[in-house]
Each structure stands twice: as structure tokens, then as C-alpha cells.
């Protein structure tokens, strides 16, 4: 297993974890669309935590979603998935640092470090799946509301499109799963170590046999 592949996977996973945090804090998960709208002087945008309105003069007013019970089920699920993803990412960072071949933290046994690196890779893949599920679920609701089949009077005042936060989440999910797959390649180290068994120097074999032959020759001479 190449150390460069492990380090590359680690860097990708850390970048994905940071990008997930940025996506979670980003205000623009969905932004108001001006398609078919006469009023373009104001813009609205939302994320998982609050809704904001920005006027043409640059004044922004935000309203937090105060009661969690008043939120729809998909919003609560997206919040939970993103928070779980951040926790898993933190655990993965710690485990991957301890499992890299180029670090001297924790056990120095190559087999143990390979198992830790593989475990961290699996954690990162799970973290990426959580982000991907949350972002895609939120995006599907945005599309559903945008393509509301009911008459115009039954639609919300504003229709929304994808915001930067969703694209950041998709990018973070992709990086996390790719980096996790690189770290999971450390499993080959454990398989190689189990197949080869302990280390045995071939040169020592010749020395043992030569010593035994010399001993037998001395006995015959006596």
C-alpha cells in the first residue's frame, strides 16, 4: 500500500469534513427565483436554521426557525444527518491520523495501523453518505415546490432554486467518499501481512544449514 495514496485520502477526507461544516453554516441552501416573477427588488434565501430576506438597498432581515416541532419532517432529518456527518468526520480525522503509516501516534504495528486507517475510511464513506442524503433530500423538495402543479394562486409567494450550500454539500459528499475509498485500500496491508506471516530472512536459512553441516563434519572427524 503506497503511503502517498493514504495521505491523499486523508487530505481529501479532511477537506470534505471542512467543506461539510461550511455547507452546514451556509445561508444559501435555496434562493428565491426570479423566473416568471415581476418583483425582482427583493431576494429571499433559506438554510436549515433560518430564513432571510434581502432588499434592494442591501438590508437583510433574518428569522430563525425557533420551534423544531413546527418544522417539516424532512428539515429535521436533514439537520440530524448533517450533524451526524460532522461527528463522524471528527471521529474519522482522529482515527485516520492514528492509522497513517507516516505517523508515530498510537501502535507502531503496521497491521494495527492499517486496520485503523481502514476503519477511518469506512467512517468517512458513511459520513459522505449522510451529507449526500441530506443535501439531495433538501434539493428534491426545492424541485418539488418549484414545479408545483397547482395553479399560480396556490403556490407560495416565492419559488426557490438551488443555492451555493447545496453544491458545497454535494462536493463534500463526493470528496468524503473518494477519500474514504483511498483509506480503505489500507485493508490490503492487513491481508498481505496475514498471508505472508512473520518475517524470515532467507540469508539466515543458509547460515543455519552451513552451521549444522560443519557440526556434523567435526563429529565424523572425531
What is the 3-class SS of 44-56, one letter each residue? EEECCCEEEEECC
3-state secondary structure of 20: helix
Confidence of residue 106 (pLDDT cuts 50, 70, 90): low
How many angstroms separate the Cα of 168 from the Cα of each of 29, 38, 74?
A: 9, 30, 19
Three-state secondary structure string covering 136-194: HHHHHHHHHHHCCCCCHHHCCCCCEEECHHHHHHHHHHHHHHHHHHHHHCCHHHHHHHH
* Domain range enclosing 85: 3-221
Mean pLDDT of 118-144: 95
* Confidence band for 208, pLDDT divided at 50, 70 and 90: very low
Q: What percent of the chain has pLDDT over 90?
A: 42
Whole-angstrom distance, CA of residue 132 vs CA of residue 154: 31
> What pLDDT does 25 receive?
93
**Domain CATH for 161:** 1.20.140.150
pLDDT (mean) for 212-219? 50
Instruction: Tell me the average pLDDT across 8-27.
Output: 95
For the chain, how many structural domains are there in total? Answer: 1
Mean pLDDT along residues 119-138: 96
Amino acid at each position: 500500500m503506497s503511503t502517498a495514496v493514504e495521505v491523499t485520502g486523508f487530505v481529501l477526507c479532511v477537506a470534505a469534513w471542512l467543506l461539510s461544516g461550511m455547507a452546514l453554516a451556509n445561508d444559501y441552501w435555496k434562493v428565491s427565483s426570479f423566473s416568471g416573477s415581476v418583483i425582482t427588488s427583493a431576494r429571499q434565501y433559506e438554510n436549515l436554521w433560518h430564513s432571510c430576506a434581502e432588499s434592494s438597498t442591501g438590508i437583510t432581515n433574518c428569522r430563525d426557525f425557533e420551534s423544531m416541532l413546527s418544522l417539516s419532517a424532512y428539515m429535521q432529518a436533514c439537520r440530524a444527518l448533517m450533524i451526524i456527518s460532522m461527528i463522524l468526520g471528527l471521529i474519522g480525522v482522529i482515527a485516520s491520523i492514528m492509522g497513517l503509516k507516516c505517523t508515530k501516534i498510537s501502535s507502531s504495528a503496521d497491521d494495527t495501523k492499517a486496520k485503523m486507517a481502514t476503519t477511518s475510511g469506512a467512517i468517512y464513506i458513511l459520513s459522505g453518505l449522510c451529507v449526500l442524503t441530506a443535501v439531495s433530500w433538501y434539493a428534491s423538495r426545492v424541485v418539488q415546490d418549484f414545479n408545483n402543479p397547482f395553479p399560480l394562486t396556490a403556490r407560495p409567494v416565492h419559488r426557490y432554486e438551488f443555492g451555493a450550500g447545496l453544491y458545497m454539500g454535494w462536493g463534500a459528499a463526493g470528496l468524503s467518499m473518494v477519500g474514504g475509498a483511498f483509506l480503505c485500500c489500507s485493508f490490503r496491508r492487513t491481508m498481505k501481512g496475514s498471508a505472508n506471516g512473520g518475517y524470515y530472512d532467507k540469508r539466515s536459512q543458509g547460515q543455519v544449514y552451513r552451521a549444522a553441516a560443519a557440526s556434523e563434519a567435526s563429529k565424523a572427524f572425531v
